Amino acid sequence: MGPQLKVLLLPEDVASLEIGLAPLDPKWIPYGLQSSRLTTIPTAKLQHSGKEDLKLYLAREEDLNLIRIRSLGDSSGWTVDSLRSPVVEFSRCFFDGVTLVAGRFFYDLAFLDQGGSCIHKEAGFLTWAEHVFRVLRKTLCRHTTFDAYVGPYAKEWLKGKLIHATNTVSSNRRSREPD
């Protein structure tokens, strides 16, 4: 297990985060790949809502050739082996205008090889990933009620909404008011 940040983001917040992360030059990798060949996408924003996986990965340009690909095993394609690859996983938030479901940023520090030895990820990647998290913490607002970092657009949307206790925010559920 490695560092993780739970986030509540609307699509506009994702666009703002991309701008904040731009100096780190992240390459965006979709969760689902058509083949065992790595591909990148130009943006983290959902292009076709409901037709894309919410999960994707961030990587440094110099680490792209170190990323391992694995089969999804059910003939549905390929994906990044995030445990053994120098990537930050980004599970985007689900938002349909009524319900907002938390997402997260996460990366592994190390993994066990087949012989059981601990393999630490490369120091350059770990430093870059820490910088990514620093930008996230700086850009987003800590929200104690949700134990999450919240984007400014999500924060505004949350005002006056009723909160469902499972970290799903909905305007038609009852539980408690946000702080």
Domain assignment of residue 41, given as a range:
4-140
What separation in angstroms does the CA of 170 have from each of 85, 93, 102, 164? Answer: 35, 13, 12, 7
**55 lies in a domain?**
yes
The residue among 34, 9, 28, 27 whose CA lies nearest residue 102 is: 9
**145 lies in a domain?**
no
Q: What is the pLDDT of residue 176?
A: 36
Mean pLDDT by 10 residues, the chain (179 residues): 93 94 96 90 73 87 96 85 97 90 96 94 98 97 92 90 52 38
State how far the Cα of 135 lies from the Cα of 56, in Å rounded to an integer: 18
**156 lies in a domain?**
no
State how far the Cα of 18 lies from the Cα of 26, in Å rounded to an integer: 9
**84 lies in a domain?**
yes
**21 lies in a domain?**
yes
**165 lies in a domain?**
no
Q: What is the pLDDT of residue 76?
A: 77
Residue 157: both structure tokens together: 């949307």
What separation, in Å, do the N-terminal and C-terminal C-alpha atoms of the chain show? 30
Q: What is the pLDDT of residue 173?
A: 37
Tell me, rounded to whole angstroms, the distance of Cα 76 from its chain centroid.
22
**18 lies in a domain?**
yes
Instruction: Give percent of the chain with pLDDT exceeding 70.
Output: 84
H runs (alpha helix) in the chain: 11-21, 123-139, 152-158
State how far the Cα of 88 lies from the Cα of 133, in Å rounded to an integer: 10
**157 lies in a domain?**
no
Q: What is the pLDDT of residue 63?
A: 97
Q: What is the pLDDT of residue 177?
A: 37
Number of domains in the chain: 1
- Contact between residue 145 and residue 177 where contact means Cβ atoms under 8 Å apart: no
Q: What is the pLDDT of residue 171?
A: 44
